[in-house]
């Protein structure tokens, strides 16, 4: 009799476990697609600020290119490029690169460049610079990063892509020159890369999500 009740409890538990597993699997399936869509919408929105003043009509996130190092862009991690189009006409490229020589480590940057070579916007995506000093490169702390809009590789000439203290044309941050130098160098290097590789950047086929996952792994 006791053996019978152990079996009964075991089978009941197994049924409950299978039922719970099915509920979890179903919920995951229903929400995974929504999460993926939300992630894409969020990324799309976060890229817009670096595209000031441009007309484009296709989702930026759909033309992504991941370039594993060595790639000639700032940073030792993979660089990401989003191609921006109006119809079939390329209008800009958005680069996600890393300035290597921040005060406290790499500074991940989003840099938008229009086809005429002008900067359309720069945003600091990630950094570990010191609060109150280097963190003013971040737009949430100061508008320092807005000064690059509309400049290009020859405006000012490359040698003047530096803070004023180093003989350049750009503002520094009081008590913090290391972080601004790192950001300015990374923007200048990205502008030079775009000038040299513009055709190749737009000729490269858009990667499938599988290809991107393999390269990033
Ligand atoms: C604890 C500490 C944290 C610092 N953090 C930064 C930083 O995040 N970014 C930066 O550029 N300088 C930082 N500095 C200052 C640099 O060491 C350096 O003195 C400064 O960038 C030079 O700026 P200046 O040429 O305007 O004097 C920090 C200094 C200390 C002592």
pLDDT tens, the chain, 217 aa long: 567 888 888 899 999 999 888 888 888 888 888 887 887 788 888 888 888 888 888 888 889 999 999 999 999 999 999 999 999 999 999 999 999 999 999 999 999 999 999 999 999 999 999 999 999 999 999 999 999 999 999 999 999 999 999 999 999 999 999 999 999 999 999 999 999 999 999 988 876 555 544 444 4
Residue nearest to atom 7 of ligand 1 (CA): 134
For residue 41, cis peptide bond before it (omega within 30 degrees of 0): no
Which atom of ligand 1 is nearest to 129's Cα? 8
| Token pair for 12 | 């009941």
Q: Are the C-beta atoms of residues 73 and 67 closer than 8 Å to each other?
A: yes
Q: 104 CA to middle of ligand 1, Å? A: 10
- Domains of the chain: which residue ranges? 48-216
Measured from CB, residues less than 6 Å from any atom of ligand 1 are 103-104, 129-130, 133-134, 165, 172, 175-179
pTM of the model: 0.82
pLDDT of residue 178: 98
Sequence-distant (≥ 6) Cβ neighbours of residue 183 within 8 angstroms = 99, 107, 109, 122, 124, 137, 145
Q: 42 CA to middle of ligand 1, Å? A: 33
pLDDT of residue 116: 94
Q: 113 CA to middle of ligand 1, Å? A: 29
Q: 145 CA to middle of ligand 1, Å? A: 17
């Amino acid at each position: 009799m006791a053996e019978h009740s152990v079996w009964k409890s075991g089978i009941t538990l197994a049924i409950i476990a299978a039922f719970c597993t099915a509920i979890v699997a179903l919920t995951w399936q229903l929400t995974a697609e929504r999460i993926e869509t939300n992630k894409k919408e969020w990324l799309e929105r976060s890229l817009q600020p670096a595209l000031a003043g441009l007309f484009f009509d296709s989702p930026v996130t759909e033309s992504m290119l991941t370039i594993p190092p060595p790639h000639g862009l700032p940073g030792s991690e993979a660089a990401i490029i989003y191609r921006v189009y109006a119809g079939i006409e390329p209008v800009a490229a958005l680069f996600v690169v890393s300035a290597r020589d921040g005060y406290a480590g790499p500074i991940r940057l989003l840099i938008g460049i229009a086809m005429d070579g002008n900067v359309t916007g720069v945003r600091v995506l990630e950094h570990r610079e010191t609060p109150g000093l280097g963190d003013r490169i971040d737009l949430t702390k100061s508008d320092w990063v807005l000064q690059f809009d509309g400049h290009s590789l020859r405006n000012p000439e490359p040698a003047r892509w530096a803070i004023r203290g180093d003989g350049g044309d750009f503002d520094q941050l009081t008590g913090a020159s290391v972080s601004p130098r790192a950001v300015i160098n990374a923007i200048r290097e990205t502008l030079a890369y775009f000038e040299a590789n513009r055709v190749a950047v737009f000729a490269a086929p858009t990667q499938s999500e599988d290809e991107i996952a393999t390269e990033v792994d």
